[in-house]
Amino acid sequence: MPISTLVILIALLTTAPVSVGAFDFTFPWIDREASFEITETLVLDYHDDNLDYGEFGPNPYNDDYGDIRNRLNLKLTVEEFSFSARVDTTTFIQAPKDPGVKIKYLDRYAPEKLTASYHGRNLQVDLGDFYASFGRAIALRIRKTDELSEDTTLLGAKIRAQLGPVDITGLGGLSNPSNWDGVTEKTLKDPYDLISGLSVAVRPMESLVLRAHGVGVIIDPLEQNQRAQGLIEGAFLPEYALVFGGAIEVIELAELADLYAEFNWMEKELKLPDLPAADGWAAYFGGNLYMGDLTLTAEFKSYSDYELFSETDSASGKYKPERLHYIRPPTLEPEDMDVTNNHDVTGARLKIDWRPWGGDTVLFASYAGFVADDPTFQNQPDKSRWIYNLQVGMEQFFLKRGRAKVDVGLREEVPDWAGGDRHHLFYLDADVKVPIGARHSLSAQGFNWWAHTMEAPSAYDYLRGEWTLAYSWSPHLTVGVILGYDTKFSQSRDLEIITDFAGYPVRQVFFAGSLTVNLSSRVVFNLLAGQIRGGPKCVSGACRVFPPFAGVRLETVIRL
Amino acid sequence: MTVHNRSPLLGLFFVSLFCWSGCASSQQKVKPESDKQVVGDFTLRDLKGHKVSFRDFGDKVVLLSFWATWCSPCRTELPLLQEIWERHRGNGFELVSICVDPADTENEVRQMVHRYRYRFPVLMDRETEVINRFNPTMDLPYSMLIDQDGRIASVHQGYRIGDEKALEKEIERLLSP
């Protein structure tokens, strides 16, 4: 495509939503006021050589190309009724065509989500795409997780009704992930999994809620996907799964405590018929005790063979295979922690928060301990490992608007037998914001990991971290520098910028600059130039491996 | 990889940067004040399990503030919003915070609300229904100032120290007779 054509195309893309504008109007035949809203996000990327190491070796195939991604959200609201649509487009410029690229970078122009809703006080109906969650996400969790570039909805219908003290939610639909994967920039095929559920909650007393729920999942009943194997990342794809459970919630106990307990049973038939059915269960208990300036939190979990996921097409070679999680039980660890096993594990966490005399200082400490099946030995269930996570920290408010939070932690995974992998991690998180006058401020935020891993027969150390230093001028702009590093590839604590540990150049230190400008309260512009660290990112026990980025990224968000 | 292929792509960024700056400036000039959108109604539950509808706040000036436990700027902003709320709540102002934490971290939410002694309403948007309606990009923190007629007076994406001053002036302007 000639560059001049591209420039015209981008100009059209960028000006189109602005020229439309937002507006209110009245429907003349029903005399109702309506509101039309537009949220437009445009991202332009130029990918330079990121000096990465792919799944099978050095990876020169994801370099020197560009992409234009556009996300247009439209919404029409008429009192309790709303109609929304999201259209995503992706256009690649000089998309890699090397034979080493197994799954192609595909241009895509398609409506992604479509919803019609009625949200009254006692009745809510969603037709089209919707999110859903039952219990503490133990029975069902279908929602957006931007940090992992996940946005799965159910395409079908959801009805929620309140009849006196009884709340009923019924839903059914096909799993509908965003078809363009923001991590790999490849296309995902819809899994066509059928998911249905029913939840009933009764509130017999002001502070007591009883819940019962059931969820049915049939994986790809019409066999629309080609899958490479039944074993995915150490677990077997189910044919179907049924989850039944209930919960008791004491919302407030004499203004001193709250309690929550949930149990779920999962019946599961696996895709590989020779294997026995793997039924599982999950028990969770959580409670807070409030004692003036002191808060005590206790949580307990016990999960056995409790895992429910699907996978998109993995064998046709055209689409990127991706694992989709339909449940996300609490991990009881910091949210961004890489939790290797949250499906066969038992343990508890105790956390204490103390804000002395209700002042500007908060002290906190938590200890979590678990015993989990050893994931390195799938076929030997008697092999297990101990996991500990101790965290202490402090938060301080100062100068009326400044805030500093620092915490350190130690996490260890130790097998209870003389083999298996061992992981020791010492981590530091810091977040400081300092006001300088009325409208100016400095901030520093980041984390550092000192890790020691023993994967027989070798043992090694590595460093991983990312730090951002930024200056902000309210309400106009923020300018920052980002330093990232990850020395796991070279299995060393030396901060070598580019290592050739395996005979290939791989970047380990990353440096970038960023600029965020609020052109108005409704128009935000972000520019990033340089390199950004890749590697695993985790949220609530689910992780994805991001490739490092090198190049320039321009993002604009307009709300009309 | 060849160096000469990069220059057109880099040029493209500057062209689009120029285009966006121009569009945004003109957007600010042509958008009249009367274009305020109506919010419409929505219903969520608070931490005590009670249903709360936007309509319950009647003809008050309302600040809807979206936040999450993992959002660092939200932790800096919320105590300042609480101070503004305490100064103006008697004059017809209400702060309604909407937490978008998923169900699996609800214990963290309860702990945080108690730790910082948030006294303003905290509504739970576990399934991201309401944030998707008003802020589909899910940027946090995100707030909407709504006037007495239920129309969006302004939106605020992100938080920088000092933003709360301008916000309080807007609130005072809306509250003034």
**Is pLDDT larger for residue A228 or for residue B129?**
B129
Owner of token pair 């009724």: A81
Overall domain count for chain A: 1
Q: Is residue A206 part of a domain?
A: yes
B176 vs chain A: nearest CA distance in angstroms? 22
- Judge if B20 and B93 occupy the same domain: no
A80 vs chain B: nearest CA distance in angstroms? 6
Overall domain count for chain B: 2
User: For residue range B51-104, what is the model confidence (pLDDT) as tens digits?
Assistant: 899 889 888 999 999 999 999 999 999 999 999 999 999 999 999 999 999 888
Q: Is residue A438 part of a domain?
A: no
- Judge if B27 and B113 occupy the same domain: no
- Judge if B111 and B62 occupy the same domain: yes
- Judge if B23 and B44 occupy the same domain: no
Q: Is residue A265 part of a domain?
A: yes
Say whether A64 and B102 touch across the interface (CB within 8 A).
no
What are the φ and ψ backbone dihedral angles of B19, each rounded to 5 degrees?
-60, -45
Q: Is residue A54 part of a domain?
A: no
Of B20, B138, B160, the CB nearest to A556: B20
Q: Is residue A426 part of a domain?
A: no
Say whether B43 and A119 touch across the interface (CB within 8 A).
yes
Chain A interface test: which of B7, B44, B99, B107 (most A C-beta within 10 Å) = B107
Rounded mean pLDDT, A181-202: 92
- Judge if B79 and B155 occupy the same domain: yes
Q: How many CB atoms lie within 10 A of CB A252?
A: 16
- Judge if B25 and B88 occupy the same domain: no
Residue A277 above 90 pLDDT?
no
Residue A84 touches partner B, C-beta closer than 8 Å: yes
Nearest-angstrom CA–CA distance, A472 and A142: 36
User: For residue range A430-445, what is the model confidence (pLDDT) as tens digits?
Assistant: 999 999 988 999 999 9
What is the helix (H) or strand (E) element at residue A424, kind and residue range? Answer: strand A422-436
Residue A156 above 60 pLDDT?
yes
- Judge if B60 and B110 occupy the same domain: yes
- Judge if B93 and B158 occupy the same domain: yes
- Residue range(s) defining the domain that contains residue A153: 120-282+309-314
Rounded mean pLDDT, B113-141: 90
Residue B170 touches partner A, C-beta closer than 8 Å: no
CB contacts under 8 A, B 62-91 vs A, are 70, 72, 75-76, 79-80
For residue B104, what is the domain's CATH number?
3.40.30.10
Inter-residue contact A498 to A505 (CB < 8 Å): yes
User: For residue range B129-138, what is the model confidence (pLDDT) as tens digits?
Assistant: 899 888 888 8
Rounded mean pLDDT, A168-172: 97
Nearest-angstrom CA–CA distance, A329 and A346: 12
Provide the pLDDT confidence category of residue A399 given band limits of 50, 70 and 90. confident
| Total beta-carbon pairs less than 8 A apart between chain A and chain B | 254
User: For residue range A15-44, what is the model confidence (pLDDT) as tens digits?
Assistant: 444 444 456 666 666 667 788 889 999 999
Q: Nearest 5 degrees, angle CA A18-CA A20-CA A23?
A: 110
Say whether B157 and A518 touch across the interface (CB within 8 A).
yes
Residue A379 above 70 pLDDT?
no
Of A44, A60, A137, the CB nearest to B104: A137
- Judge if B55 and B91 occupy the same domain: yes
- Judge if B40 and B26 occupy the same domain: no
**Per-residue H/E/C for A42-92:** EEEEEECCCCCECCCCECHHHCCEEEEEEEEEEEEEECCEEEEEEEEEEEE
- Judge if B132 and B51 occupy the same domain: yes
**Chain centre to alpha carbon of residue A343:** 18
- Residue range(s) defining the domain that contains residue B14: 3-31
CB contacts under 8 A, A 465-504 vs B, are 472-475, 478
Q: Is residue A231 part of a domain?
A: yes
Mean residue pLDDT across chain A: 87
The pLDDT of residue A403 is 94
Q: Is residue A205 part of a domain?
A: yes
CA torsion angle for A530, A533, A538, A544 (degrees, to 10)?
A: 90
Q: Is A435 helix (H, G, I), strand (E, B) or coil?
A: strand
Q: Is residue A290 part of a domain?
A: no
Set of chain A residues whose Cβ sits within 8 Å of the Cβ of B107? 260, 286, 288, 297, 299, 330
- Judge if B111 and B167 occupy the same domain: yes
Provide the pLDDT confidence category of residue B17 given band limits of 50, 70 and 90. very low
Among A174, A153, A164, smallest CA distance to A200 is for: A164
